[in-house]
Amino acid sequence: MGMIRTIARDGLREAGQNRLLWLVAVLLLGTFLLAEFVGAVALTEHRSVQAALAGTLLRLGAVFLMALFVVTTLLREQQDRTLDLVLALSQPRSHYVLGKLATYFLLAVALAAACALPAGLYAPPDALARWAVSLACELWLVAAFGLLLAFTFRQPVAALAGLGAVYLLSRSTAALVLIVQGSPFRHTGWGHAIVDYGVTALAWILPSLHRFTDASWLAHHAGDWAGVGLVLGQTAVYAVLLAAAAAFDLYRREF
């Protein structure tokens, strides 16, 4: 447990020393200014429009910053041989993975709380709390995927591209399933069957991120805590699976 705490503490210190805090501040300020501008020119439902815009921009910006931080820091540790020194210790390699996930969990909570500040100007406290909890879960899953892909590809462009593809597919699988299975112009044949089964398989394998951090929670006060419970359960399941996969990849590699 000592190694896990040390890695988590060093990760938080690194997050505070690089430009992540400045980028978060730019995100918050830019979102606030743009939401205020849109609210000033909107003809009706000013508050709902501002809440939806702020929620969308904050989610996308926070996901981008988390993905960028996770991938770049992990690959830098591999390139400057810091990871070799850590793994040379007489501690299980799984402790390294758990320490990183602990770091990312704390960062996800802090980043979600920071994003709740401007979003709270346009949404009631209950809807804001649900949105912030869901955003923290979404950011932690993005970080866990980034951890696995950084170990797998070892190149920043490939890892970020893979993470972006996974995120977009996880966000859009439900819509793809509806398009493929609900189209009135469905064709019969092996080609359509392959697409149908492939999209359905993706929907089962990937997390249902379309259920996470919905902007309508802020704009129209939709959703409830039961939905947040499903988000928490899904986050726990995928975090365990991704941690196990990352630890397995770390054990089988020679650094």
Q: Is 40 exposed, middle or buried (0-12, 13-18, 19+ CB in 10 A)?
A: exposed
pLDDT of 255 strictly over 60: no
Q: Higher confidence at residue 16 or residue 44? A: 16
Token output for 19: 């430009």
32 vs 202 pLDDT, higher one: 32
Note the pLDDT of residue 219. 85
CA 170-150-31 angle, 5° bins:
55
The greatest distance separating any two alpha carbons of the chain, rounded to the nearest whole angstrom, comes to 64
Q: Which pLDDT value is given to residue 204? A: 85
Mean pLDDT along residues 144-173: 91
pLDDT at residue number 222: 76
Q: Which of 221, 180, 222, 172 is nearest to 197 (CA)?
A: 180
Q: What is the model's pLDDT at position 190? A: 63
pLDDT score of 186 more than 60: no
Residues counted in the chain? 255
pLDDT at 193 over 80: no
* Confidence (pTM): 0.91
Provide the pLDDT for residue 28.
95
Average pLDDT over residues 36-58: 85
- pLDDT bucket at 189, cuts 50 / 70 / 90: low
Angle ∠(150,152,205) on CA atoms, nearest 5:
100
